[in-house]
Chains A and B, each alone.
Chain A
Amino acid sequence: MAAALAVLSAGCNRDGVKVYHVENADTTTPPPPAAAPAAMPATMPAGLPVPDTSTLPKLKYTVPDGWQEKTPTEMRVASFGISENGKSADVSVIPLGGMAGGDLANVNRWRGQVGLQRLADADLQQLAEKVEIAGQPADLYDIAGTGQRIVGVIFHNGDATWFFKMTGDADLVEKQKPAFVSFLKSLQFGEPVAPSTMDLSQLPSGHPAIPGISAGNPTAPAADASSLPTWTIPADWQSAPLSQFLVAKFSIAVTDGSQAAVNVSSLAGDGGGLMPNVNRWRAQLGLSPVSDADLSNLPTMDVSGGTATLVDISGTDGRTGKPARLIGVVLPLGGQTWFYKLMGDESVVAQQKDAFTKFIQSAKYPDAH
């Protein structure tokens, strides 16, 4: 029995705090080994949004001498390479919807790429050099690190944000800066059309598939008209162009300029689960994530076909920086999950809440019998 007790105590010691010494400082995760360069990317990973640039205005420009035009990739609408005396630089043009994460975050990320410290918001304006693109002001950031240099321009045009970036060997980037500025001056936008509709809020939260660890969220098969639900649409809702992952979109504008939008999307299975989706909505309003316990307190509502979970939150819209309210409804139904989202200015959302509820209750799903 004494032996058994000794064994028991040895087993129990596993769960206590341990202090020990190691010979070398091998205490952190080893840095990943360098790998052979993989092939050029063809598509974006599941966790990263693929911008829809089909509705963006066509860009016209004059290519400076010595720049080689490259085939644009999925994110880039224009791409150039510069090489000189064994040194190289890369120029990219990327348009995205909304505020695209904010100027500070993007400038700080560029600074991180060349090994510089992050900036505070107040320092950002001092760094910005004013430039003009197609007659409108834009901010240029010249970020010189050790060996590498980035000259980046952030241009807010309507509801879209355009990024023009030259990156490469510091000497070459410095030498090419006048050519880059002249390239910016040559830019002309075609007829303005709707901005890029890329909106991370429509994507299931997730990350690239990790073999053997988790499966991604399969999106529902592409919906044709016959597989879509039918709704009774309130008179003051206007159908809006669909972006990726959406099966229906409506905009609601009020005469005083305030507005809101209704998005309907559908994902296969549980759509990644209630928690990640609720937290994704919360993140859009700058709210901290909630835990399992908080989720169980969420109200539910009976709708045609089942019971839906209701989320009603207020915060600050990350894209506009204005106060906003979001009412979301998550409805699991017949092997897929429907997401309804009403989001916009507080007054409009409050006023439209009943219409939104009736709209959801009016739904007739094709597979529901």
Chain B
Amino acid sequence: MLIKKIVGCFTSLKLTCALLACAIVVVFVGTLAQVDDGLYAAQAHYFRQWIIVGAHLFGREIPFLFPGGYLIGVLLLVNLICAHIYRFQLTTKKIGIQIAHAGVILLLVGQLVTDMLAREMQMYLSEGGTKNYSESVTDYELIFANGDQVTAIPSKLLKQGDELKIDSLPFAIRVNTLWKNSDVSFRAPMVQNGPPMASNGIALDFDFMQKPDVKTTDEKNIPTAIIELIGPNGPLGSWAVSDWAGDASLVEAVRNSYAQELGGDMAHNIATWLASPQSVEMGGQKFTFVLRPTRIYHPFSLTLHKATHTDYPGTISSPEPEGIPKDFRSRVQLTYPRTGENCEVEISMNHPLRYDGLTFYQYQMDAGQVAEQAGRVPSSVLSVVRNPSWLTPYIGCAMVGAGLLIQFLTHLVKFVSKRKTK
């Protein structure tokens, strides 16, 4: 009796309607919330969430308790699968509905798999530079490298005031300060600097300041932490670790901004100091550490031969020195030692490179006349996407469409033949 009730509940169309209504509310509220919270924060709060507690809308905190995207999606999936199994009849009459349902199930499962497994990363390459890894856009890691061994601690595990003990490290890491977004300034000689923020490393040459978190997708948060390393015999010192120093594109941006004002040589020195490795020695071992965007290593590497930025002829003028861009393309060398592959590939807008389960899109570029005149090394940023389930939305939609078409045609044929017999 009880089982029948549970089965009845999970297979009911009422549950489907209620869940779809909830989904409409969550999509509506979650979309509105993006105005205040930004895309990523709203996604995390409303869609990648089991239960939504509180909403931040129109600059106000609103009491709100509602099922989140995960809960609605999973219940909808369970509901659909149960109904599918329960009502399944292998007859030509219902075949269209069966296919449409299977398509919706595939859409839901595909979205779950995308959410869990898909990654969007970036690869920043300067002309002549080679990389065998991509970097996350939103996630960071504090890494300690000892020889060829790397211990990577996701920044999500770093909490201000916490002390972390990791098996592979002979010291504990105390997080004294952690800023989600920060700014950097060179502690220029001969100006009134406050005391350095940490006793060692880059903090002696650079100041870091907390900045309000950014929420729009065209800005990014640049985290900084002040960490203290504590060995068995006491503290080893404090250091500033920052994405400003760990992200080659940011180091380059700092260099470029100082280059205009202080000259190329001084700016190069500043950038070199900022990127200089910080390390601590313990028990005869040297640990080099840096806070950087989370890296995903690939078994192959890309070398940027040439970044080309072309403008429409006649669009470059003194008020518009950048011109109107016509084309961005990166000529890269792809090297895969294991397979012996070694070939030159051109990546341009709308012509990505698909390789080893990854897709490399042309994303950003600093090249062409403006970069040349400013003395900047041309560089290119590729957006690297891995999405094992990228085909599921296409297949799912095709199945739903085909199922509905079959169902309608079946009914139409039946209706027409009935009329004929009358």
Give me the interface of A with B, judged by CB distance under 8 Å: 4, 7-8, 10-11, 14-45, 47-49, 94, 96-101, 105-106, 109-110, 112-113, 118, 161, 163, 198-201, 205-214, 273, 275-276, 279-280, 282-284, 286, 288-289, 291-292, 318-319
Given contacts A29-B245, A35-B268, A319-B192, whether A45 and B253 have CB atoms under 8 Å apart is: no
Instruction: Tell me which of A19, A161, A291, A319 has the highest count of chain B C-beta atoms within 10 A of its own C-beta.
Output: A19
Interchain CB contact under 8 A, B290 and A28: yes
Do the beta carbons of B116 and A11 come within 8 Å of each other? yes
B191: contacting residue among A21, A96, A288, CB under 8 A: A96
If A35-B375, A210-B257 touch, whether A28 touches B190 (CB-CB below 8 Å) is: no
The distance from the CB of B123 to the nearest CB of chain A, in whole angstroms, is 13
Known interface pairs A22-B148, A100-B190. Does A32 touch B252 (Cβ–Cβ under 8 Å)? yes
Q: How many A-B pairs fall under 8 Å by CB?
A: 234
Query: Across the interface, do A35 and B150 meet the contact criterion of CB distance under 8 Å?
Result: no
**Is B21 on the interface with A (CB-CB < 8 A)?**
no
What is the interface of chain B mostly: helix, strand, loop, or mixed? mixed
Q: For the complex formed, measure the closest distance between the CB of A251 and the CB atoms of chain B, giving whole angstroms.
A: 18
Q: Name the CB-closest residue of A to B243.
A: A29
Residues of B within 8 A of A24 (CB): 148
Contact yes or no, A276 B157, CB < 8 A = no
| Extra A-B contacts (13), CB below 8 Å, given A29-B248, A32-B268, A283-B195 | A17-B152, A17-B157, A19-B151, A26-B132, A29-B275, A101-B189, A105-B189, A105-B193, A205-B209, A275-B211, A276-B183, A283-B207, A318-B193
Q: How far is the CA of A97 from the CA of B257 in the complex (A)?
A: 25
- B162 on the interface (CB 8 Å rule)? no
In this complex, the member of B210, B272, B290 whose beta carbon has the largest number of chain A beta carbons within 10 angstroms is: B210
Asked if B342 is at the interface of the complex by the 8 Å CB criterion, the answer is: no
B377 touches A33 (CB 8 A): yes
* Closest beta carbon of chain A to B281's beta carbon, Å: 16
Residue of B nearest to A40 (CB): B263
Docked CA distance A113–B261 (Å):
19
A49 touches B253 (CB 8 A): no
B contact residues around A14 at 8 Å (CB): 139, 154
Q: List 9 A-B contacts (CB under 8 A).
A: A31-B271, A33-B377, A39-B263, A45-B262, A49-B191, A94-B190, A96-B190, A200-B193, A280-B209
Whether A35 and B192, one on each chain, are in contact in the complex, defined by CB atoms closer than 8 angstroms, is no
B275 proximity list for chain A (CB < 8 A): 28-32
For A29, what are the chain B residues with a Cβ–Cβ distance below 8 Å?
A: 245-248, 251, 275, 277, 290, 292
Closest chain B CB from A181 CB (angstroms) = 21
Select which of B195, B212, B377 is within 8 A of A275 by beta carbon: B212
Tell me the minimal C-beta distance from B385 to chain A in angstroms: 16
**B297-319 contact mask (Cβ, 8 Å, vs A): 1 or 0:** 10000000000000000000000
Residues of chain A within 8 A (CB-CB) of B297 are 20, 22
User: What DSSP secondary structure best describes chain A's contact surface?
Assistant: loop
Q: A29-B275, A209-B257, A210-B253 are in contact. Are A289 and B210 (CB under 8 A)?
A: yes
**Nearest CB on B from A285, distance (A):** 8
Contact across chains for A25 and B148 when beta carbons are under 8 A apart: yes
Residues on the A chain within 8 Å of B184, using CB: 207
- Minimum CB–CB distance from B131 to chain A (whole Å) comes to 9
Q: Are A101 and B211 in contact (CB under 8 A)?
A: no
Q: Are B129 and A19 in contact (CB under 8 A)?
A: no
Complex Cα distance, B163 from A231, in Å, reads 51
Instruction: For residue B116, give the distance in angstroms from its CB to the closest CB of chain A.
Output: 3
A17 touches B151 (CB 8 A): yes
Q: Give the CA-CA distance A104 to B14 in the complex, in Å.
A: 76
Alpha-carbon distance A214/B288, docked complex (angstroms): 29
Min CB distance B169 to A, Å, is 10
Q: Which residue on chain B has the smallest CB distance to residue A118? A: B204
With A7-B116, A19-B168: A38-B272 Cβ-Cβ less than 8 Å: no
Among B150-184, those with CB < 8 Å from A are: 150-154, 156-157, 160, 166, 168, 177, 183-184
Most buried by A among B128, B133, B260, B374: B260
Is the CB–CB distance between A15 and B151 below 8 Å? no
Q: A36 touching B177 by the CB < 8 A rule?
A: no
Q: A36 vs B375: C-alpha distance in the bound complex, in angstroms?
A: 5
A37 to B143, CA, bound (A): 33
Q: How far is the CA of A36 from the CA of B259 in the complex (A)?
A: 10
Among B118-155, those with CB < 8 Å from A are 126, 128-129, 132-133, 139, 143, 145, 147-154
Closest 4 pairs between A and B when the two form their complex, measured CB to CB? A283-B194, A11-B116, A208-B257, A27-B145
Which residues of chain A are near B139, meaning CB under 8 Å?
14
* A34: B residues at CB distance < 8 A: 268
Chain B contacts of A318 at CB under 8 A? 192-195
Chain A: minimal CB distance from B320 (Å): 16
Which A residues lie within 8 Å of B271 (CB)? 31-32
A206 touching B246 by the CB < 8 A rule? no
How many Å from the CB of A111 to the closest CB on chain B? Answer: 11
A28, A43, A163, A200: which contacts B261 (Cβ < 8 A)?
Answer: A43
Which residues of B lie under 8 Å from residue A99 when comparing CB positions?
192
Contact among A35, A161, A273 with B376 in the assembled complex (CB-CB below 8 Å)? A35
Minimum Cβ distance to chain A for residue B130 (Å): 9
A23 and B148: CB pair below 8 A?
A: yes
Which residues of chain A are within 8 angstroms of B375 by Cβ–Cβ distance? 35-39
Report how far A163 CA is from B189 CA in the complex, Å: 11
Contact A213 B253 (CB under 8 A): yes
Is the beta-carbon distance between A15 and B194 smaller than 8 angstroms?
Answer: no
Please, how many angstroms separate the alpha-carbon atoms of A22 and B149 in the complex?
7
Per the bound structure, the CA–CA distance linking A308 and B165 in Å amounts to: 43
Residues in B whose Cβ lies below 8 Å from that of A214: 183, 211, 214, 219
How does the 8 Å CB contact mask read for B231-271 relative to A, with 1 for contact and 0 for none? 00000000000000111101111110111111111011101
For residue B115, CB closer than 8 A to chain A, the reply is yes
Given contacts A29-B275, A205-B183, A208-B257, contact A279 B191 (CB under 8 A): no
Q: Is B282 an interface residue (CB 8 A)?
A: no
Give every chain B residue within 8 A of A37 (Cβ-Cβ). 263-265, 375
Say how far B106's CB is from chain A's closest CB, in angstroms. 12
Q: How far is the CA of A34 from the CA of B145 in the complex (A)?
A: 26
Residues in B neighbouring A96, C-beta threshold 8 A? 190-191
B194 lies within 8 A of A284 (CB): yes
